[in-house]
Amino acid sequence: MNSANREQLLAEYARYNRRPLQMKINNEAVIIPVEYALSGSIEDIQKKFLTDYFDEQKKECERYKRAGVAPRMIEFNGAKYVVPYQLRDSDRKDTDIVGLVLRKAKAKYNRAISLTRKMARAYPERGYTVEVAGDHVANLRAGYNRYLIETGLDKTKAAMVKAAEMILEGGRLVKGEISSFTPQELQRAARKAAVGLLIGGSALLGTYGTFKLAEKIRKPESKENIWQSQAEADAMEVRLTVDDMTLVPVAMDEFSRPKAEKDRLFKKYMREIFESEGGYADKKIDQPTNMGIIQPTLNAYTERFPEEAKRLKFPQNVKGLKKNQAMEIYHQLYFNQYKIGDYRNESIGMLIFDLYVNHEPKTVKSFIDQALKKARSHGAEVKLPSTSGERVAVINSLAMLPEAESAFYEQILKERMAHMYEKTTAKAGKKSRFAKGLKNRAEKYAKRYVSTGRQEKNNPNYMRLASVRQK
């Protein structure tokens, strides 16, 4: 399954605040669309999904019945399959026929997701969710064709677009995958496909003709045998399973952000950091500070990156630090070191970046651990991380559970505020002169959380900035 289709399914689960489920079909993991998981027992969910996933098998049974012919059956890996009617007399290997049945079912499944994504983009207010029944997929395709015409394409162009889409999808069916194409991409593909149709049309028709030749007349069978086999075939929708078909949690793919996107985020986040830190101060809290950088931090950078420090003409004293030099320190010792650019949710990424700038690493770890414990009370099954990489992966996994992700964010704010009070007021017995500024900094992020699902809605391949204030 391509990443866009996977993201569509996971986003639907997030919309309903449900934990994603998958099952194995012929030892291959398949995510069950949330539409099937909204009600019923595990067995009910399996049955509903499998009935739609393999509904072409039921149609094949009906073709046999109309012809008065006993369905040809194949047993494979503990499951029984109906041989496609056109192949009933074929001398193909049973494994090849079963493979064809499985590939067709998988292709329909991917097509359902792809078309749902397209329709959701076209009509975001309708709240489409994926269903894999063949009739539903056909209706989606018809609806998308109407959309192409209604949005300015004439019938001729729409037909070309449709032909191009089929060719492009067909190329992906070899691997059992279907990608999404925008109307603009399809128009471009259609222009290329027009020539391809002229060249490949005869080959396609030839293949179809060969396929039709497989529909040989079958010798009559006794009615007793026909209806015995038909009765067995009628039960296929329930029994199309293998022994290891079980529901399990879906693991999130490891999230990665391109370097160019990380660089963009760093610049955006730094505007927030500079706004909070200000310029040079003799004693911001307990020692001279320039743009949030203290002397030990400057010394640490020059020791770790002596060549860069020399190239950028770093000063010996923090008072002489320039903005571009401060940004380089933040980039290497904070943004890169703590893998800030790898946080999937930008609201969380910005907040954690600010935490590391404003607090000791052990303090930040404490904030995050307490927030993850809070997320557990909202359904998140997470372990407390020990490294920066583990921390990123665990927090990214909360994207599947918006309620848990929100609880995590809010708890960090509470932990930080409590820490500020303890540090500036409780121990001193009176409010410190720095208390107000630190309190304002902590509260700065109180209304900036945007769930991952909302950030990525209708556009799973692009991460919108979420560090801006919500209106």
**Cβ(442)–Cβ(416) under 8 Å?**
yes
Tokens for 139, please give them. Answer: 């209706």
Q: How confident is the model at residue 279 (pLDDT cuts 50, 70, 90)?
A: confident
Is residue 54 pLDDT above 80, yes or no?
A: yes
pLDDT tens for residues 180-223?
444 444 444 444 434 333 323 322 222 222 222 233 333 444 44
**Cβ(81)–Cβ(74) under 8 Å?**
yes
Tokens for 77, please give them. Answer: 């890996």
**Cβ(453)–Cβ(11) under 8 Å?**
yes
Tokens for 469, please give them. Answer: 């204030």
Nearest to 220 by CA among 61, 69, 66, 84: 69
Distance CA 84, CA 395 (A): 47
| Higher local confidence (pLDDT), 346 or 183 | 346
Cα→Cα distances 428→182, 284, 415, 443, Å? 62, 17, 19, 22
Q: How confident is the model at residue 434 (pLDDT cuts 50, 70, 90)?
A: low
Is residue 251 pLDDT above 50, yes or no?
A: no
Cα→Cα distances 158→123, 164, 280, 390, Å? 18, 10, 63, 48
CATH number at 259-455: 1.20.141.10
Whole-model pTM above 0.75?
A: no
Nearest to 120 by CA among 406, 457, 462, 363: 457
The b-or-e profile of 56-71 (16+ CB within 10 A means b, else e) is ebbebbeebbeeebbb
Q: Residue 6: what residue type?
A: R
Which of 246-255, 397-406, 427-436 has the lowest average pLDDT?
A: 246-255
Tokens for 171, please give them. Answer: 């190329």
pLDDT tens for residues 77-97?
777 888 999 998 888 898 889
Taking the alpha carbons at both ends of the chain, their separation in whole angstroms is 37
Distance CA 37, CA 446 (A): 34
Burial class (CB in 10 A: 0-12, 13-18, 19+), 122: middle
H/E segment holding residue 21:
strand 21-25
Tokens for 137, please give them. Answer: 């997929």
Is residue 18 pLDDT above 70, yes or no?
A: yes
The DSSP annotation for 18-37 comes to ---EEEEETTEEEEEPHHHH
Tokens for 67, please give them. Answer: 């012809």
| Structure-derived torsion over alpha carbons of residues 342, 344, 346, 350, reported in degrees to the nearest 10 | -40
**Cβ(52)–Cβ(133) under 8 Å?**
yes
Residue with tokens 């008072």: 319
Angle at 200 between CA 198 and CA 205, to 5 degrees: 105
Cα→Cα distances 243→22, 99, 114, Å? 15, 18, 29
Cα→Cα distances 53→30, 110, 316, Å? 11, 11, 68
Distance CA 143, CA 141 (A): 5
Q: SS3 helix, strand, coil % of the chain, rounded to 5?
A: 65, 5, 30
The b-or-e profile of 17-42 (16+ CB within 10 A means b, else e) is eebbbbbbbbeeebbbbbbbbeeeee
In this prediction, residue 197 carries a pLDDT of 33
**Cβ(254)–Cβ(393) under 8 Å?**
yes
Ranges assigned E (strand) in 324-387: none
Nearest to 253 by CA among 399, 468, 462: 399
In this prediction, residue 207 carries a pLDDT of 27
Nearest to 225 by CA among 70, 64, 61, 63: 70
Domain ranges of the chain: 3-249, 259-455
Is residue 37 pLDDT above 80, yes or no?
A: yes
* Mean pLDDT, residues 405-429 taken together: 83
